[in-house]
């Protein structure tokens, strides 16, 4: 049975790069953020327009307009999540079913807010991508339009890196460079070789 590995990490830690390293090893990766973006251009658009009139332009959700509606409004955010989360789950389940059908030993769920949303319960193990605080800070502040204030606001909404590392089954430290991260990813895949997944086995009963 396919082993489901949850991949997460705080902003600037190199999560997307690490996901790419798994793909390079032939491991299927489901990107939750990319899934949401696709839904904003498809199935979610009419549902969001119904709940938040004027936020869809030419059939595509305008993320800036939508953000204006939900930021600072917990009830509206819950409404949005009630629309998006079930659709993401459908796509995730389709992805996992395909991984099982193809006989994949490991499938990765790339979920930025894995612990924050309780998504780790749907995985056989959690992998946290990490780096030293100064490396994270340098990476994030180098992004266009990023400020110290924005960086701090984002961190405040995320489970601290130390807590994520404590809850992780595996770690990838990207602060030592791409080659070192690739070695770590390959080591994780060797550790998982032949290890049966339990999450999908339970769900198929």
Give this prediction's pTM. 0.90
| pLDDT for the residue numbered 72 | 81
CA 42 to chain CA centroid, Å, is 20
Q: Is the pLDDT of residue 204 over 80?
A: no
Q: What structural domains does the chain harbor?
A: 1-28+104-193 (3.40.50.300), 32-96 (no CATH)
> What's the pLDDT tens digit per position in 79-116?
999 999 999 999 999 999 999 999 999 999 999 999 98
* Distance (Å, whole) CA 75 – CA 73: 6
| pLDDT for the residue numbered 203 | 59
> What's the pLDDT tens digit per position in 27-77?
999 999 999 999 999 999 999 999 999 999 999 999 999 999 998 888 999
* Distance (Å, whole) CA 11 – CA 155: 8
* Distance (Å, whole) CA 92 – CA 134: 34
Element (DSSP H or E) covering residue 172: strand 170-173
């Amino acid at each position: 049975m396919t082993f489901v590995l949850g991949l997460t990490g705080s902003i600037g830690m190199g999560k997307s790069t690490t996901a790419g390293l798994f793909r390079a090893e032939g491991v299927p990766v489901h990107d939750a953020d990319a899934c949401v973006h696709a839904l904003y251009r498809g199935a979610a658009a009419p549902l969001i327009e119904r709940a938040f009139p004027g936020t869809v332009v030419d059939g595509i959700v305008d993320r800036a307009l939508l953000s204006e509606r939900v930021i600072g409004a917990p009830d509206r955010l819950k409404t949005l999540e009630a629309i998006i989360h079930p659709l993401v789950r459908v796509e995730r389940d389709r992805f996992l079913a395909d991984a099982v059908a193809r006989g994949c030993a490991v499938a990765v769920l790339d979920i930025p807010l894995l612990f924050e949303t309780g998504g780790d319960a749907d995985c056989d193990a959690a992998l946290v991508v990490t780096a030293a605080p100064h490396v994270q800070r340098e990476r994030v502040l180098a992004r266009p339009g990023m400020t110290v204030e924005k960086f701090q606001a984002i961190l405040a909404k995320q489970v601290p890196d130390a807590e994520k590392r404590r809850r992780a089954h595996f770690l990838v430290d990207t602060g030592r460079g791409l080659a070192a991260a690739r070695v770590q990813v390959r080591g994780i895949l060797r550790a998982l070789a032949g290890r049966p997944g339990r999450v999908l086995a339970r769900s198929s009963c």
